[in-house]
Amino acid sequence: MGPRDYRRILSVIDNNAGAGEKNMMMDLNSNALTDSVKQSFKIINQQVISVFSLQGGVGKTTLAFNLAFYLKDLCKLKILVIDLNFSEGKSDLSLALGLPETPNLSCYIERITDDYDAFLGSILSLKKFNIDFIQPPLSIFQSDKFGVDMLDNLIYHARNEYNFIIADIPYRYDNISLEMLNLSTVLIFLMFPSPGAFGRIESLKRLLQGTQKKGIIINNVFGLSDFYSDAIIDDLEIPVLCSIPFIGNEKKNFLRAGKLRTGILDLQKEMPGLAGKVLQ
């Protein structure tokens, strides 16, 4: 099967049971669930969730990992985080978690003819978090080799292995970012409460499929002015899933796995409500 065949297969897969997707009954006795979340959904359909921002420094990497960190406790779910923030050296998430340089996406790129084995070889298992992770390549030279067909192939294999795939997508309008957005079943737009961000979302909508679930998260963790109105939100026709409130320095905590303290801000208080809206 060639790379373009994977794209055609992905184009007909939806959120329903079947088509090789992993769907699971939720453990409604899980201590991780609030009553409101328990009432929202009983069956977990496989989801490919992309977290995207239309401005830099808004916290999408923090949000993506917090969502994965929360979802892993719902029941025995398999979760894969894909970091598509290509740069020289380690990514912000890799640095915050203190991860080794390999394996990373280069292991997949350089062994692409090995197909499924190359996919497995690119995955770093974060055993302390019960999350699997694909790091970006360590150089722009390597990431430039990663094409749309490779991405389609990667997501095809991931959908046969994982219940949730969460992609952290950079603020770019390149082919990889747009393809990942259009391969997703759920799009989360993270933004500061500013007028420019709303305008950019309106422009981006023209490049997206109409069938995906979409939602906006307003991040006011830094205490910026609350600029947005119901009228603007109504015009976008994309619901606001939640608003992350201002968190003063004295109240900031960081995610932990046992004794391991990460460099990732703890937003777990906001995750039950977000998960309920994204997954219901």
Specify the pLDDT at position 224: 60
Predicted TM-score of the model (pTM) = 0.82
Specify the pLDDT at position 118: 97
Phi, psi of 38 (to 5 degrees): -60, -35
Specify the pLDDT at position 124: 98
- Given a contact cutoff of 8 angstroms between Cβ atoms, the answer to whether 3 and 150 are in contact is yes
Of residues 58, 53, 51, the one with CA closest to residue 224: 58
Give the residue ranges of the chain where pLDDT is below 50: 6, 8-9, 11-20, 25-29, 38-42, 229, 231
Integer Cα distance of 49 and 178 in angstroms: 13
Specify the pLDDT at position 31: 54
Specify the pLDDT at position 135: 98
Specify the pLDDT at position 19: 39
190: left (phi over 0), alpha (psi -120 to 50) or beta: beta
Specify the pLDDT at position 191: 84
Enter the DSSP assignment of 36: H
Specify the pLDDT at position 117: 97
The overall average pLDDT reported for the chain is 82
Domains of the chain, start order:
3-8+40-279 (3.40.50.300)
List, in sequence order, the alpha helices (H) in the chain: 3-10, 35-40, 60-71, 92-97, 105-110, 116-121, 140-143, 148-159, 175-183, 195-204, 230-236, 271-279
Specify the pLDDT at position 263: 92
Q: How far is CA 226 from CA 18, 54, 192, 245, in A?
A: 43, 17, 9, 10
Specify the pLDDT at position 219: 84
Q: How far is CA 54 from CA 66, 87, 167, 190, 199, in A?
A: 19, 18, 15, 8, 9
Distance of CA 91 to the CA centre of its chain: 15
Specify the pLDDT at position 32: 54
